[in-house]
Amino acid sequence: MSTERKRRANGEESRRRILDAAAEVAGERGYDGTSIAQVSARCGLPVSSIYWHFKDKDELIAAVIERSFEQWLTAFDAEGEDVPELVVRIGEALVATPDFLRLGLMLALERRPHEASARRMFLQVRATTLERIASTIREHAPELGDEAVRLLALYTMAAVDGFFVAHEIGGDSVDLGALFALHGRVLVDAARHLSA
Amino acid sequence: MSTERKRRANGEESRRRILDAAAEVAGERGYDGTSIAQVSARCGLPVSSIYWHFKDKDELIAAVIERSFEQWLTAFDAEGEDVPELVVRIGEALVATPDFLRLGLMLALERRPHEASARRMFLQVRATTLERIASTIREHAPELGDEAVRLLALYTMAAVDGFFVAHEIGGDSVDLGALFALHGRVLVDAARHLSA
Amino acid sequence: MSTERKRRANGEESRRRILDAAAEVAGERGYDGTSIAQVSARCGLPVSSIYWHFKDKDELIAAVIERSFEQWLTAFDAEGEDVPELVVRIGEALVATPDFLRLGLMLALERRPHEASARRMFLQVRATTLERIASTIREHAPELGDEAVRLLALYTMAAVDGFFVAHEIGGDSVDLGALFALHGRVLVDAARHLSA
Amino acid sequence: MSTERKRRANGEESRRRILDAAAEVAGERGYDGTSIAQVSARCGLPVSSIYWHFKDKDELIAAVIERSFEQWLTAFDAEGEDVPELVVRIGEALVATPDFLRLGLMLALERRPHEASARRMFLQVRATTLERIASTIREHAPELGDEAVRLLALYTMAAVDGFFVAHEIGGDSVDLGALFALHGRVLVDAARHLSA
DNA sequence: AATGAATGAGGATTCATTCAT
DNA sequence: AATGAATGAATCCTCATTCAT
């Protein structure tokens, strides 16, 4: 059984292979550090085939973010939990699928006009997540005003980002579990401060 | 002889102009997004002059980070403050000189072998800052063990990073002051949790 | 069966749509400037369908020229006219279907080995036209020798080309009617010079 | 004496070599048919060096046209001649430096937004030439009104373009001398028609 | 009669860097 | 202390064309 060298054209699968490769590379090196040639080498399809499936690099990266976000959503999806639990679940999801956030943060930190759609996709996905955190907080602390809820949601999202960065830098010497647990407990105190 | 002096002075000046331009560009676009040609265009000196002052791109960016860190240190230097105050001061310094952290975070998030010195410079600078936060915490909560102090310092640094990211993304709709104040107060509760 | 007929009809229709699109694009940008992808985008049919109807780019452009020439022939077809009238009619036909000549001239000016059939098609079409002009001249000035007739025919064709170029460049600020009328009158003088 | 392989950097000469090569290639194949790689191969300098001397392909071709026009101007420069003589001189200059007009006509026939400067350069050069023809006509036929002079100048320029095209297509079977001589004589008749 | 997918070669342009002056 | 010129490798992307269905 020699390697099938031309398995009959299969768009779906090729698209998936390209996205897998692009997620890997972009997760490692960011937007500018990712070259189409690298993606091509990693997925085995020629450069021109990548352009058949995606209009340009920008759209490719946007698609990577979109798909990665869906995976991450699946990973931390859960209902009826209380706030500290939610925070911990987010943390777990992070460790499981870190490419999404790493790439997204890199894009968010950049200040440039291009790569519009990739950046936009991340910001949209982020807004969705923020809203979700806010509604969980609102459920569990109905006495808080809108401003306070928004502040706590922002605080939580910032903590998540910060923990992620710390873990990226410090590796396993950073105890993500302890950090998330601490933040979960602290949120309750913070809610008390704000409702007072 | 005065010509000599003039020349030397111009050397310093040129170096400064290059660093200014590089800080701007790299702050906007990250390491890969920054090209020597862009820096040249922005500072008005030819490309080859940049290479006269800096060995290569990596060293140029490292120098940008180093200088930017010194400016930032100056901005939040202060002694004898209590923990919440320290946190607030860090926040103020952030808003004042954001290039340093933005570029540093971009570098930290990337996963690649090269650009050794730029990245190393940022990590070193970051370790210094972490140690400083830790010692302030230790001073003000002598009852805490080393592990607890380290956790709180990490937590604080993560919060700073996260707030910064939130502000980069959300602009002035994100109330940095409120976030830093909240974190300052919350730290005290956290210390209580951990010493219990 | 009616399906059959429909399909066949669609085949014709598709061919026509492709030719229309190709004529537009090639008229605007010349042979090299025309890409199959552009033609595809402009006619709505996929690239591979264009290759189903035409062997390659060269043949497609040749077909464009051929069809365009037929349209132009129709536009200036007329019998028994005298020389100045013929010249004016050619001019009118030019303004009506300019793609043909514009594309043809571009091809004629290029110096390269490929695109054989497109270029050949234009040259052939041009030879036909030249012969036709010559025979009209011969009819109306039977006293002229072959050489003189050929010279006048060439002169006229050159004038047509030149007027066309002038109009392409200068737009409606170039009074084509006046130019053609002038050339028509001048031809009579020229015939006199040559027969003397 | 081995081939000097790196003769010390000489901007002027390199620029000239690039222009020579570009004129050759573009004269043969037009704007789109000319690739920077071909120019590089023909002049021996690497592609990136071409970009050191010229901002982009557009500017390179524009420079080719400009220089070529100057050569052509030199070739047909002369004072105090009468109209038929001027026409003949233009014809001689054409045969001597045909690249200029061939490339220019190709550009003029194209209808596209880009390559702005190359096209603009040709049109400007052409306007200069037209004005020059007009003033010679005015000198020798002072009785003509402005409109008539402009028409005759346009007619002459169109004839030149047309003769050129005829010669490009027909090669030496087209007797340029006879055509130019004929046009020269005919102009006098045309002037009579118009002043009547 | 038509088309989605694939593909290698080549397109223009920019890259970081070096070198002679 | 500085710079004009050069350079090979890499960048993103488009090209004409083919092939299995």
Residue C59 in domain = no
Indicate if the pLDDT at residue C80 is higher than 70. no
Please give the average per-residue pLDDT across A66-74, as a whole number. 84
For position A49, which CATH number holds? 1.10.10.60
* Same domain flag for C139 and C190: yes
- Residue pair B155/A182 in contact by the 8 Å Cβ criterion: yes
Collect all residues of chain B within an 8 Å Cβ-Cβ radius of residue A160: 162
Burial class (CB in 10 A: 0-12, 13-18, 19+), B3: exposed
CB atoms B32 and A28 under 8 Å: no
Instruction: Output the pLDDT for position A8.
Output: 58
CB atoms D28 and C154 under 8 Å: no
Å between CA of B144 and C1' of E14: 55
Instruction: Output the pLDDT for position D113.
Output: 60
A86-A89-A90 Cα angle (round to 5):
90
Q: What is the CA radius of gyration of chain C?
A: 19
* Same domain flag for D108 and D34: no
Give the chain C residue whose CA is nearest to the CA of D159: C159
Task: Note whether B touches C: 3 CB pairs or more under 8 A.
Answer: no
Indicate if the pLDDT at residue A17 is higher than 60. yes
Instruction: Output the pLDDT for position B78.
Output: 60
Instruction: Output the pLDDT for position D166.
Output: 93
* Same domain flag for A88 and A181: yes
Q: Which amino acid is at B69?
A: F
Instruction: Output the pLDDT for position B113.
Output: 57
Collect all residues of chain B within an 8 Å Cβ-Cβ radius of residue A108: 165, 168-169
Please give the average per-residue pLDDT across C165-192, as a whole number. 89
More confident residue, B185 or D35: D35
- Residue pair B195/B143 in contact by the 8 Å Cβ criterion: yes
CB atoms D157 and C162 under 8 Å: yes
> And the tokens for A107?
């894009």
* Same domain flag for B111 and B137: yes
The b/e string for C47-58 (b: 16+ C-beta within 10 A; e otherwise) is eebbeebbeebb
Q: What is the pLDDT of residues B74-108, one digit of tens each?
A: 766 666 567 777 777 777 777 777 778 888 888 88
A118-A121-A123 Cα angle (round to 5):
110
> And the tokens for D129?
């030439």
Q: With a 7 Å cutoff on the CB, does A34 touch strand F?
A: yes
Interface probe for B, chosen from A32, A130, A137, A179 (most Cβ of B below 10 Å), is A32
Nucleotide closest to B4 measured between CA and C1': F1
Which residues of B touch chain A, with CB atoms under 8 Å apart? 27-33, 102, 105-106, 108-112, 123, 126, 151, 154-155, 157-163, 165-166, 168-170, 174-175, 178-179, 182-183, 185-186, 189-190, 193-194
* Cα-Cα end-to-end distance for chain B: 70
CA distances to A51, A180, B12, B150, D51 from A184, in Å:
45, 6, 51, 18, 58
Instruction: Output the pLDDT for position D78.
Output: 60
CB pairs under 8 A between A and B: 144
> How many Cβ atoms sit within 10 Å of the Cβ of residue C127?
12
> And the tokens for C85?
């009238």
What lies within 8 Å, CB to CB, of C89 at 6+ separation is C76, C78, C81
Indicate if the pLDDT at residue B4 is higher than 50. no
Burial class (CB in 10 A: 0-12, 13-18, 19+), A69: buried
Å between CA of C63 and C1' of E1: 20
Please give the average per-residue pLDDT across B128-138, as a whole number. 88
Indicate if the pLDDT at residue C171 is higher than 90. no
* Same domain flag for C86 and C146: yes
CA distances to A1, A131, B47 from A4, in Å:
8, 48, 50
Residue D170 in domain = yes
CA C100 to chain D, closest CA, distance in angstroms equals 12
Collect all residues of chain A within an 8 Å Cβ-Cβ radius of residue B167: none
Residue D171 in domain = yes
What secondary structure, in 3-state letters, does chain B show? CHHHHHHHHHHHHHHHHHHHHHHHHHHHHHHHHCCHHHHHHHHCCCHHHHHHHCCCHHHHHHHHHHHHHHHHHHHHCCCCCCHHHHHHHHHHHHHHCHHHHHHHHHHHHCCCCCCHHHHHHHHHHHHHHHHHHHHHHHHHCCCCCHHHHHHHHHHHHHHHHHHHHHHHHHHHHCCHHHHHHHHHHHHHHHHHHHHC
> How many Cβ atoms sit within 10 Å of the Cβ of residue A54?
21
CA C153 to chain D, closest CA, distance in angstroms equals 11
Å between CA of A12 and C1' of F12: 24
Å between CA of A8 and C1' of E8: 19
Indicate if the pLDDT at residue C158 is higher than 50. yes
Report the Cα D150 to chain-centroid distance in Å: 20
CB atoms C154 and D166 under 8 Å: yes
Nucleotide closest to D33 measured between CA and C1': E11
Task: Domain of residue D35: give its range.
Answer: 3-54
Instruction: Output the pLDDT for position B17.
Output: 96
- Among the partner residues B29, B159, B178, nearest to A162 by beta-carbon distance: B159
CB pairs under 8 A between C and D: 144
Residue D183 in domain = yes
Tally of domains in chain A = 2
Å between CA of D37 and C1' of F9: 15
Give the chain B residue whose CA is nearest to the CA of A160: B162
Instruction: Output the pLDDT for position C5.
Output: 45
Collect all residues of chain C within an 8 Å Cβ-Cβ radius of residue D189: 186, 189-190
- Residue pair D162/C158 in contact by the 8 Å Cβ criterion: yes
All partners of chain D with 3 or more CB pairs under 8 angstroms: C
Residue B82 in domain = yes
Give the chain A residue whose CA is nearest to the CA of B103: A109
Q: What is the CA radius of gyration of chain D?
A: 20
* Same domain flag for C103 and C7: no
For tokens 């901005």, the residue is B75
Q: What is the pLDDT of residues C121-155, one digit of tens each?
A: 888 888 888 998 898 889 888 999 999 999 999 99
Residue D59 in domain = no
CB atoms A155 and B27 under 8 Å: no
- Residue pair D109/C165 in contact by the 8 Å Cβ criterion: yes
User: Please, which pLDDT band fits residue C4 given cuts at 50, 70 and 90?
Assistant: very low
Residue that is last in its domain, among A16, A34, A54? A54
Nucleotide closest to C60 measured between CA and C1': F16
Residue A132 in domain = yes
Instruction: Output the pLDDT for position C121.
Output: 83
Collect all residues of chain B within an 8 Å Cβ-Cβ radius of residue A161: 158, 161-162, 165-166
Q: Report how far residue D182's alpha carbon sits from residue D84's, in angstroms, rounded to the nearest whole number.
A: 9
Nucleotide closest to A46 measured between CA and C1': E7
User: Please, which pLDDT band fits residue C6 given cuts at 50, 70 and 90?
Assistant: very low
Indicate the pTM of the whole model.
0.86
Instruction: Output the pLDDT for position A5.
Output: 37
Q: Report how far residue D130's alpha carbon sits from residue A106's, in angstroms, rounded to the nearest whole number.
A: 59
* Same domain flag for B71 and B164: yes
Indicate if the pLDDT at residue C3 is higher than 60. no
113-142 on C, CB < 7 Å from strand F: none
Q: What is the pLDDT of residues D121-137, one digit of tens each?
A: 888 888 988 998 898 88
> And the tokens for B105?
């975070």
> And the tokens for B130?
């972490």
> And the tokens for A145?
């005003």
Nucleotide closest to A36 measured between CA and C1': F12
Q: What is the pLDDT of residues C101-123, one digit of tens each?
A: 888 888 888 776 555 788 888 88
> And the tokens for B190?
């956290």
CB atoms A159 and B160 under 8 Å: no
Q: Of D49, D41, D45, D39, give the one whose Cα is nearest residue D5.
A: D45
Q: Report how far residue C68's alpha carbon sits from residue C74's, in angstroms, rounded to the nearest whole number.
A: 10
Closest residue to E9 (CA to C1') is: A48
| Mean of all residue pLDDT scores within chain C | 85
Q: Report how far residue D131's alpha carbon sits from residue D125's, in angstroms, rounded to the nearest whole number.
A: 10
Instruction: Output the pLDDT for position B80.
Output: 57
Q: What is the pLDDT of residues A109-166, one digit of tens each?
A: 887 755 578 888 888 888 988 998 898 889 888 999 999 999 999 999 999 999 999 9
% of chain C surpassing 70 pLDDT: 90
What lies within 8 Å, CB to CB, of B72 at 6+ separation is B93, B96, B97, B100, B101
Å between CA of C8 and C1' of F10: 49
Q: What is the pLDDT of residues D28-47, one digit of tens each?
A: 888 899 999 999 999 999 99
Q: How many residues are listed for chain D in this entry?
A: 196
CB atoms B123 and A169 under 8 Å: yes
Report the Cα C98 to chain-centroid distance in Å: 7
* Same domain flag for B40 and B80: no
What lies within 8 Å, CB to CB, of B49 at 6+ separation is B14, B18, B40
User: Please, which pLDDT band fits residue C192 given cuts at 50, 70 and 90?
Assistant: confident
Residue that is last in its domain, among B17, B34, B54? B54
CA B148 to chain A, closest CA, distance in angstroms equals 10
Closest residue to F17 (CA to C1') is: C56
> How many Cβ atoms sit within 10 Å of the Cβ of residue A82?
12
Residue C94 in domain = yes
For position D151, which CATH number holds? 1.10.357.10
Q: Which amino acid is at C58?
A: D
Instruction: Output the pLDDT for position D160.
Output: 92
> And the tokens for A189?
């105190």
* Same domain flag for C49 and C69: no
Instruction: Output the pLDDT for position B6.
Output: 46
Half-sphere exposure of B63 (CA within 13 A, CB side): 17
Q: Which amino acid is at C92?
A: E
Residues of chain D with pLDDT under 70: 1-9, 76-81, 113-115
- The backbone region for C80, taken as left when phi is positive above 0, alpha when psi lies in -120 to 50, beta otherwise, is left
- Residue pair C2/C40 in contact by the 8 Å Cβ criterion: no
* Same domain flag for A43 and A119: no
Indicate if the pLDDT at residue B68 is higher than 80. yes
CB atoms C186 and D186 under 8 Å: yes
Q: How many residues are listed for chain A in this entry?
A: 196
Collect all residues of chain B within an 8 Å Cβ-Cβ radius of residue A168: 108-109
All partners of chain C with 3 or more CB pairs under 8 angstroms: D
Please give the average per-residue pLDDT across A37-51, as a whole number. 97
Three-class SS state of A44: coil
Indicate if the pLDDT at residue C57 is higher than 70. yes
* Same domain flag for C152 and C180: yes
Å between CA of B35 and C1' of E14: 9
* Same domain flag for D183 and D154: yes
